[in-house]
Amino acid sequence: MALCGCSREIDFEYLDIEPLTVIEAELTPDGAKVGIRLTTPMDEPMNRTLLRDATVTLTDLDSEESALLEIDAEGYYRNPDAGIDGHRYRLTVERNGQSFESETRMFGPTTIESLEFNWISMPYDDVAVLQGRFTDDTATTGDCYWVKIYRNGKIYQWSEVDDRGAVGGMCTYLTMTSRKDTDAEDDESVLFDNDVVTMTVCRISKEMHNYLEALANDSNGPAMFTGSRCLGYFLASSPAEKTIVFHPDEIPNYQ
């Protein structure tokens, strides 16, 4: 009996569709910042060029005051006025005869109580686990958060979390980072001595949580804007921040 096999080259055919608008908007105590770009076809390199031909308006629905955002040298639309905790805001983007709108409430800050590294032993090596603990409002349930980790000022990891694991008004966030053997790590994961690691936490809506969860699973997620079809999000929150310097020789083993 003889066994034989064959292989066939498969050509993927991507649908040729018009690029979609992508809006990434944040309102914080430092003001509003909005970046607008177009999606990139699957078979082309990512194009991060920001569009500069839109009209962007931010409206405080509680005070009924509106502000026209001005474009800066980098291509972001900005307004310096701080968001007010508890107020609802509407973001309106108009471009090429299309209109996009999103509304959200401004969330107040949490507090990051601690940020630390611990080594844990894995079969292949010791791994530095970053643990952050931040406060959660015990008066409410279903609170959601966007946790972002930066390495030397550049995004390193991010995740959406909720308060289901909170204990005594405290959420604990754990993430694996660098192996002790840095030669076995890739550039995306490795941490070196004196690297500055920063954790930020923003409280977000359930809709924003679901959107980020979909992104993490390689999906566009639920629509965050009404009007013409587009991708992206509108976040209004007061971020908390805490920083730690990575010193591998000073990290304790996890007990």
The share of the chain scoring above pLDDT 70, in percent, equals 90
pLDDT at residue number 40:
72
| Predicted structure pTM score | 0.87
Per-residue pLDDT of 82-112, as tens digits, reads 999 999 999 999 999 999 999 999 999 999 9
Amino acid identity, residue 149?
A: I
pLDDT at residue number 195:
97
Q: What is the mean pLDDT of residues 64-73?
A: 97
The answer to whether 160 and 204 are in contact (CB under 8 A) is: yes
pLDDT at residue number 184:
85
pLDDT at residue number 1:
40
pLDDT at residue number 219:
85
Q: What is the mean pLDDT of residues 62-71?
A: 97
pLDDT at residue number 152:
97
Per-residue pLDDT of 153-168, as tens digits, reads 999 999 999 999 999 9
pLDDT at residue number 36:
97
Q: What is the mean pLDDT of residues 165-178?
A: 95
Per-residue pLDDT of 123-144, as tens digits, reads 999 999 999 999 999 999 999 9
CA atoms within 13 A on the CB side of 1: 1
Tell me how far apart the alpha carbons of residues 19 and 228 are, in angstroms, rounded to a whole number.
13
Q: Which domains, and CATH codes, for the chain?
A: 21-105 (2.60.40), 112-205+239-250 (2.60.40)
Tell me how far apart the alpha carbons of residues 129 and 118 are, in angstroms, rounded to a whole number.
5
How much is the CA Rg of the chain, to the nearest whole Å? 22
Distances (CA, A) of 162 to 96, 119, 145: 38, 25, 6
Tokens encoding 8: 């066939």
Closest CA to 169 of 117, 129, 111: 111
Estimate to the nearest angstrom the gap between the alpha carbon of 147 and the chain centroid. 7
Handedness of CA 56, 237, 224, 219 (dihedral sign): positive
